[in-house]
Amino acid sequence: PDSAKGGSFSSPESNLPSVQQERAKAETLPDLNAKILDEDWDDIPPSSALEVISEEEAVQIIAEPLLPIQSSTLRDYVDHSETLAKLVHLGVDLSQVEKRQKAGQLLLTLDFEKDVKKILLFLKDVGIKDNQLGPFLTKNPYILGEDLEALEIRVAYLKSKKFGQSEIAQLVSRAPYLLLFSVERLDNRLGFFKNELGLSVKKTKDLVIRLPRLLTGKLEPVKENLQVCQIELGFQRNEIQQIVFKTPKILTASKKRLKQTFDYLHNIMGIPHHMLTRFPQVFNSKLLRIRERHMFLAFLGRAQYDPAQPSYISLDQLVSLPDEVFCTEIAKASMQDFEKFLKTL
């Protein structure tokens, strides 16, 4: 205010034309031709919702379907969403996606060109094939909402741990949630298996490549199975190391099934710990299959599992061969004999 009084700032009003001058200019404008105005407006269709139209005109009106306010299925939104339509075209099963918590809401908020396309290109670069994209996204739709830079950092971490391109593709395709894990979590998982099992870096890497879900599954069952093997089944630490490296699935197997299988192999069939350590694949077999074949061999007097004795039968031969081959080559009997014996059990 003081500077204004001193005249340092000019008044805004002083630079504007007077009201009288504007009025004078307005009076000099030519009159609009009313006829031309009427002709122009005649070309514009009526905008009133109450305008009466003919039946022919009504038939030509195409009404856009309304977007469902609420629905229990994503199928109702496919016709309204480019993202959903293109994901379906890729092979994504929306009926499975909508069962996952908040996955449906996520997909409805994504723009295909802006959000989804870059993730698809990233997955292809990682090694996911075109025909795998649909099943992959069905299992893990959440990756479409992840930050691309964060995903690239996680892949870079795996490369820094000497995982090759094909190995990374195998990890990601077989464990779809893997890339949702931060670098810290991935590092902790690899460190856990290395330290708990006393494996080298290379063997740890080989272990998770063979069973990628070890990196994404819960660790509690793994810890419990390791304790069962050591405390209840009586295996030594080095034996557990060998068993797990040969048969990683033993880490995620049912504790009850693990103990029942061991009890039958060790206490009924008399298989010692060191033999089970050599052939841990036997723990992946169904107990019924083991029992039926062992009882048949015992009935024939051929249940010999000691490699130092003649007519030795390895555990691998016992459980892995088809019934026909098992009967003719191992049991030295016919398939009919085996079937008859099973009926007596």
- pLDDT tens, per residue, the chain with 345 residues: 344 444 434 444 444 444 444 444 444 444 444 444 444 444 444 444 445 556 666 556 554 444 454 555 677 677 778 888 999 999 999 999 989 999 988 998 999 999 999 999 999 999 999 999 999 999 999 999 999 999 999 999 999 999 999 999 999 999 999 999 999 999 999 999 999 999 999 999 999 999 999 999 999 999 999 999 999 999 999 999 999 999 999 999 999 999 999 999 999 999 999 999 999 999 999 999 999 999 999 999 999 999 998 889 999 999 999 999 999 999 999 999 999 999 998
pLDDT at 56: 64
* Domain ranges across the chain: 71-145
- How far apart CA 152 and CA 67 sit, in angstroms, is 36
∠ CA 326-244-311 to the nearest 5 degrees? 30
- Spell out the SS3 assignment of the chain: CHHHHHCCCCCHHHHCCCHHHHHHHHHHCCCCCHHHHHHHHHCCCCCCCCCCCCHHHHHHCCCCCCCCCCCCCHHHHHHHCHHHHHHHHHCCCHHHHCCCCCHHHHHHHCCHHHHHHHHHHHHHHHCCCHHHHHHHHHHCHHHHHCCHHHHHHHHHHHHHCCCCHHHHHHHHHHCCCHHHCCHHHHHHHHHHHHHHHCCCHHHHHHHHHHCHHHHCCCCHHHHHHHHHHHHHCCCCHHHHHHHHHHCHHHHCCCHHHHHHHHHHHHHHCCCCHHHHHHCHHHHHCCHHHHHHHHHHHHHHCCCCCCCCCCCCCCHHHHHHCCHHHHHHHHHCCCHHHHHHHHHCC
Report the distance separating Cα 167 and Cα 154, nearest Å: 14
What is the predicted pLDDT for the residue at 63? 47
Contact criterion met (CB below 8 Å) for 272 and 314: no
- Predicted confidence at residue 6, as pLDDT, reads 41
Cα–Cα dist 24/185, whole Å: 78
